[in-house]
Chains A and B, each alone.
Chain A
Amino acid sequence: MSVISLKVNGRTYPVDVDPETPLLYILRNDLNLNGPKFGCGLGQCGACTVIVEGEAIRSCITAVALVGGFEITTLEGLGSTAKMHPIQQAFLDNHAAQCGYCINGFIMQAKAFVDANPSPTFEQIAESLVGNLCRCGTHQRILAAIQQYTGGAA
């Protein structure tokens, strides 16, 4: 065990765990965050995605010790139903969720991608999301939402 200082959504949390522990478990179980989800634990689906220093990472395969001291943003850090982030609003406007289990991953992945590439083409958006799976098949709406968010045609 060792104490790691985790900076999540603008707050700092000291956590005293095995440094190998996947970040996902800390976020979900110690910080009680629901946004990042356990989909596969293998880095294959994207459900657990969070943004670390601007980059979308898979928290299920990221040891907590690796991200100590870095700015971590989860879905909760973007906005809430009371005040949605524009990307969340774009998902809502496009009804871009069915079961919603994958949606955290898509929003976080797209947010990081668009931050770095403010005017992507439709193809670039789709390409940036090849590591995220949605079993409900909400793809078309997810892509439309991100297009709307980037100011492109929905």
Chain B
Amino acid sequence: MRKEHYIPNATYEHENEPEVLYENGFPINLSKPGQTKAGFARRDFLKGVGVMVVGFGVAGSTAKITGGSTVEAAGMTGAAGTGVEAATALADPPIDQVDSYLVVGQDGGVTILTSLVDLGQGISQQYIQWVAEEMEVSMARIRVILGDTGLVANDGGMFGSRATNLSGAKFRRAAAAAKAKLLELAGERFGVSPSDLTVHDGVVSVKTEATKSVSYAELIAGKRFDVEIPSNFEGTKPWQEYKIIGQPISRVDIPVKLTGEEEYVHDVRLPGMLYGRAIRPRGQSLYQHSVLLDVDESSVADVKGLVKIVAAGHLGGVQGLGGQFNFVGVICEREEQAVEAASKLKVTWAEPPEIPADLYQHLLAVGRTTSTRQNGDLEAALAIADKVLEATYTFPFQAHASMGSVAAVGDVKLDSDGKVVSAQAWSSTQATHTLRNNVRLALGIPADETADKVRVLWRWGAGSYGSNNGNPIVGVDAAVMSAAVGRPVKVQWFREDTHGWESYGPIHLFKIKAGLDASGNVIAYEFDSWGATANNNSSGERYKFGRGSATFRVMGGNPTGGTFFLTAPLRAPSQPATTFASESFIDEMAAAVSADPVQFRLRHLDPADPAQARGMDVIAAAAERFGWDTRPSPNPAHVANRSGVVRGRGIAYGPRSQAYVATVMEVEVDQATGAVRPIRAVVAHDIGLIVNPESLRQQIEGQVAQTTSRALWEEIKHDGRRVSTLDWLSYPYLKMTEFPRVESVLINRPELGTGSGAGEAATVSIVGAVANAIFDATGARLRQAPFTPERVLEALNAR
């Protein structure tokens, strides 16, 4: 950040906000009338007094939810009397304390605080269900504060479907520990043992003497639990007693999203707020090459309302951050003025290097082995094989492509020397604390002042499906622009930047080779994988291949600049790719020995292995619900029929850590045009314990839809220098008439006690299932995703 960008004497000031009192850095619960909109405290700690002065005016509305429950986006206080004004401290709250996650207010309401935010999958509903279940408090009195770094403990970002495993389990243990503590306190009060007590909606009574009762609020409001979160589940409810877990309860966040009452990050409006647009080269190239050469300020001389032009990161990027943070910002009084300025401003960027035309060849050329797992003697097994098969599959760069162009609001306050006093950023990032650190870096704030000076306030955004859909970058853009003018600035990216400057799911190339014996069993298996990603994975090991030998050689390609384009995990990172390859290949093997694809898979799974047994269950369940007729693919009835529209069905099995999923997909293929029309998808899904089956179905349906689109259409393309797929026409998404009907078969295993996350698992098997369905319909094998009409025609012609 160059100093001359600051306007030292900012005229804008926040409204005064009421004070919140703190004791030992923890809020004293307040329920003063009229204090319904108290801003949360920043860490302006008045030494010696133990009082923090509120420094932030946070606009916001309380979301009333069906059932009377209240979910709030972070940073907003709720109705008077909830008594939870803030839970902030100079340092982040400790991650092992009940107090960091659960606060009981004066009215007995419970507030859940977490850094694991909701991406639209409805995870906050799950948090509420766990806490209601374990604490015995009605859901209507539970609210959630998500991702306000001024309030929540830093459990890291929300990715990898870890909310269920991490936060769900944590809240469950924390809530059980909180309840135990409350029973202990009530027991002391009545002189009885906790086992003589019973709880109903936050009121503890003596079992034998109902008149003796006390509310949670009376016991704990204004005080701390001072209890560590247990490391095990001892003391949590046995699953047989669940009343709320497992119920299809309507998501609390939905109603306000249907009426315009929800405040998304795009809707945050602060007094005196300006509008910024960030200008980047049109489409990314090798990202470190976004070198700014010149900004011709005269080109926008006639734009009204122009407040400032900010050139951030001339060479090295915004301080300490990568080249994707380089941008030129225009800040205007009104949004349309910022749009006009951004389109008129003449900015010259250095010509980027050429992008190899064939990225897959490039990947092979620069690929290097990163890890190898091998057992047995592959060559020996191949030598005695009756049949040897080989195939190569490719999978392109794909985009998260959020529906909303990403946006953020920055509010940086400067002193009279232009030094940063405080910085706030409103963002729908998945990783609020990472953004907090990046804002700190961009503004040159010392590391030890991070928690004191920088605050990220999460707000709902458009679904992100992975950690970098552009949100982490636009958050910094907004902070940098705000710092340049000392006023709040809202920045929204153009669609071309949301498509062009996010971090893509990486490309992959796979070579698979296998040997089968005379009875059609796989005795040798080799799976080589290249990908523009560090966390390449193999997926062939899910079967008990290799009665003789099996080899998995996993390779990771590292092209120039690490990953060539910006890459980041995209929903079930790389697994739709690896599973497309491995599940297509197992289909090829089945076809080579004229075996039914379902039977062939089941034959190669071991019922004695608990994981493989669960795999067998979902494969069988999907086939049964679909009405699978046992026969080899392609459909013998179609073999002579090489024209017209034909239907086929394909299966793919796609486990993901502790989630087991199989999908049967039915498609129609027009053999004249190569057009593929998905008809129906049956997904059998086992994640262990199901917390909310309705939310789960919704997640499955969404993943089938999104991934079917990825299978058929989605591919990041470039023009030789830069990414050229910059909107919904060049990067098409399935239309309303083109989605398959989805049927979910849910397998619940409450006895396992825990469930895996469900926001990604159903993604894994879809691409493979589509490819196998096309093969079943036509006998054409698609080995390159996406399966556009041209590629399908090509494969049809190769039959």
Q: Which residues of A contact B (CB under 8 A)?
A: 17-18, 20-22, 25, 28-29, 32-35, 37-42, 44-45, 47, 74-76, 78-82, 84, 88, 91-92, 95, 97-104, 107, 123, 126-127, 129-130, 132-143
Taking a contact as CB atoms under 8 Å apart, the answer to whether A17 and B336 are in contact is yes
Does B456 reach chain A (CB closer than 8 Å)? no
Does B259 reach chain A (CB closer than 8 Å)? yes
User: How many B residues have CB within 8 A of the partner chain?
Assistant: 63
Q: Beta-carbon contacts of B260-275 to A below 8 Å, as 1s and 0s?
A: 1111101101000001
Contacts A40-B495, A102-B403, A130-B735; A34 near B258 (Cβ below 8 A): no
Q: Which residues of B contact A (CB under 8 A)?
A: 63-66, 119-122, 250-251, 253-264, 266-267, 269, 275, 304, 334-336, 401-405, 407, 460-463, 465, 492, 494-495, 694-695, 698, 701-706, 727-729, 733, 735-737, 739, 741-742
How many Å lie between the Cα of A80 and that of B262 in the bound state? 11
How many Å lie between the Cα of A81 and that of B492 in the bound state? 28
Contacts of A34 in B (CB 8 A): 260-264, 267
Expressed in whole angstroms, the minimum distance between the Cβ of A84 and any Cβ of chain B is 7
How many Å lie between the Cα of A75 and that of B698 in the bound state? 23
List, sorted by A's number, 20 A–B pairs whose CB atoms are closer than 8 Å.
A17-B336, A34-B260, A35-B260, A38-B404, A39-B405, A41-B494, A42-B495, A44-B727, A44-B729, A81-B259, A92-B254, A98-B122, A98-B463, A99-B403, A100-B262, A101-B461, A101-B462, A130-B736, A137-B701, A141-B698
- With beta carbons under 8 angstroms apart, the residue of B255, B461, B701 that contacts A99 is B461
Contacts of A99 in B (CB 8 A): 119-120, 257, 403, 460-463
Contacts of B258 in A (CB 8 A): 75, 81, 84, 88, 91-92, 97, 100, 103, 107
Q: Find the B residue at minimum CB distance from A81.
A: B255
Expressed in whole angstroms, the minimum distance between the Cβ of B393 and any Cβ of chain A is 24
Taking a contact as CB atoms under 8 Å apart, the answer to whether A39 and B702 are in contact is no
Contacts of B741 in A (CB 8 A): 140
Most A-side CB within 10 Å, residue of B64, B461, B737: B737
Q: Find the A residue at minimum CB distance from B495.
A: A40
How many Å lie between the Cα of A143 and that of B739 in the bound state? 11
Taking a contact as CB atoms under 8 Å apart, the answer to whether B269 and A92 are in contact is no
Contacts A37-B404, A44-B727, A99-B119; A140 near B257 (Cβ below 8 A): no
Contacts of A91 in B (CB 8 A): 254, 258
Contacts of A133 in B (CB 8 A): 403, 728, 733
Contacts A21-B336, A38-B404, A39-B403; A137 near B264 (Cβ below 8 A): no
Taking a contact as CB atoms under 8 Å apart, the answer to whether B122 and A80 are in contact is no
Taking a contact as CB atoms under 8 Å apart, the answer to whether B336 and A97 are in contact is no
Taking a contact as CB atoms under 8 Å apart, the answer to whether A97 and B405 are in contact is no
Most A-side CB within 10 Å, residue of B257, B336, B407, B460: B257
Expressed in whole angstroms, the minimum distance between the Cβ of A1 and any Cβ of chain B is 9
How many Å lie between the Cα of A40 and that of B465 in the bound state? 18
How many Å lie between the Cα of A123 and that of B462 in the bound state? 27
Contacts of A74 in B (CB 8 A): 260
Contacts A44-B727, A135-B402; A103 near B733 (Cβ below 8 A): no
Contacts of B460 in A (CB 8 A): 99-100
Taking a contact as CB atoms under 8 Å apart, the answer to whether B259 and A80 are in contact is yes
How many Å lie between the Cα of A17 and that of B335 in the bound state? 11
Contacts of A28 in B (CB 8 A): 266-267, 335
Taking a contact as CB atoms under 8 Å apart, the answer to whether B733 and A40 are in contact is no
Contacts A17-B336, A99-B460; A38 near B250 (Cβ below 8 A): no
How many Å lie between the Cα of A132 and that of B253 in the bound state? 22
Taking a contact as CB atoms under 8 Å apart, the answer to whether A45 and B736 are in contact is no
How many Å lie between the Cα of A100 and that of B71 in the bound state? 15
Expressed in whole angstroms, the minimum distance between the Cβ of B543 and any Cβ of chain A is 29
Extra contacts besides A45-B728, A99-B257, A143-B736 (10): CB < 8 Å = A28-B266, A28-B267, A29-B269, A75-B260, A81-B256, A84-B255, A133-B403, A134-B403, A140-B701, A140-B742
Closest 7 CB pairs of A and B: A99-B120, A137-B705, A100-B257, A35-B260, A137-B702, A101-B462, A99-B463
Taking a contact as CB atoms under 8 Å apart, the answer to whether B405 and A100 are in contact is no
Taking a contact as CB atoms under 8 Å apart, the answer to whether B260 and A76 are in contact is yes
Q: Find the B residue at minimum CB distance from A46.
A: B403
How many Å lie between the Cα of A22 and that of B401 in the bound state? 23
Taking a contact as CB atoms under 8 Å apart, the answer to whether B264 and A98 are in contact is no
Contacts of A22 in B (CB 8 A): 336
Expressed in whole angstroms, the minimum distance between the Cβ of B596 and any Cβ of chain A is 29
Contacts of B336 in A (CB 8 A): 17-18, 20-22, 25
How many Å lie between the Cα of A135 and that of B728 in the bound state? 11
How many Å lie between the Cα of A97 and that of B251 in the bound state? 9
Expressed in whole angstroms, the minimum distance between the Cβ of B705 and any Cβ of chain A is 3
Taking a contact as CB atoms under 8 Å apart, the answer to whether B403 and A127 are in contact is no
Expressed in whole angstroms, the minimum distance between the Cβ of B334 and any Cβ of chain A is 7
Taking a contact as CB atoms under 8 Å apart, the answer to whether B702 and A98 are in contact is yes
How many Å lie between the Cα of A28 and that of B407 in the bound state? 14
Contacts of B256 in A (CB 8 A): 81
Contacts A38-B404, A101-B463; A44 near B728 (Cβ below 8 A): yes
How many Å lie between the Cα of A88 and that of B335 in the bound state? 30
Contacts A22-B336, A38-B404, A138-B701; A97 near B257 (Cβ below 8 A): yes
How many Å lie between the Cα of A138 and that of B78 in the bound state? 30
How many Å lie between the Cα of A81 and that of B64 in the bound state? 7
Contacts of B304 in A (CB 8 A): 18
How many Å lie between the Cα of A148 and that of B741 in the bound state? 17
Contacts A25-B336, A37-B264, A75-B259; A138 near B702 (Cβ below 8 A): yes
Q: Find the A residue at minimum CB distance from B708.
A: A137
Most B-side CB within 10 Å, residue of A81, A95, A132: A81
- With beta carbons under 8 angstroms apart, the residue of A47, A76, A143 that contacts B259 is A76
- With beta carbons under 8 angstroms apart, the residue of B261, B267, B703, B727 that contacts A81 is B261
- With beta carbons under 8 angstroms apart, the residue of A45, A84, A130, A136 that contacts B463 is A136
Most B-side CB within 10 Å, residue of A37, A78, A102, A127: A37
Q: Find the A residue at minimum CB distance from B254.
A: A97
How many Å lie between the Cα of A17 and that of B336 in the bound state? 10
Contacts of A100 in B (CB 8 A): 120, 253-254, 257-258, 262, 460
Q: Find the A residue at minimum CB distance from B256.
A: A81
Q: Find the B residue at minimum CB distance from A101.
A: B462
Contacts of A79 in B (CB 8 A): 259
Taking a contact as CB atoms under 8 Å apart, the answer to whether A47 and B403 are in contact is yes
Contacts A25-B336, A95-B694; A126 near B736 (Cβ below 8 A): yes
Taking a contact as CB atoms under 8 Å apart, the answer to whether B269 and A32 are in contact is yes
Contacts of B64 in A (CB 8 A): 81-82
Q: Find the B residue at minimum CB distance from A133.
A: B733
Expressed in whole angstroms, the minimum distance between the Cβ of B201 and any Cβ of chain A is 23
Expressed in whole angstroms, the minimum distance between the Cβ of B700 and any Cβ of chain A is 9
Taking a contact as CB atoms under 8 Å apart, the answer to whether B701 and A141 are in contact is yes
Expressed in whole angstroms, the minimum distance between the Cβ of A148 and any Cβ of chain B is 14
Expressed in whole angstroms, the minimum distance between the Cβ of B487 and any Cβ of chain A is 15
How many Å lie between the Cα of A55 and that of B256 in the bound state? 24
Taking a contact as CB atoms under 8 Å apart, the answer to whether A135 and B266 are in contact is no
How many Å lie between the Cα of A95 and that of B258 in the bound state? 10
How many Å lie between the Cα of A39 and that of B404 in the bound state? 4
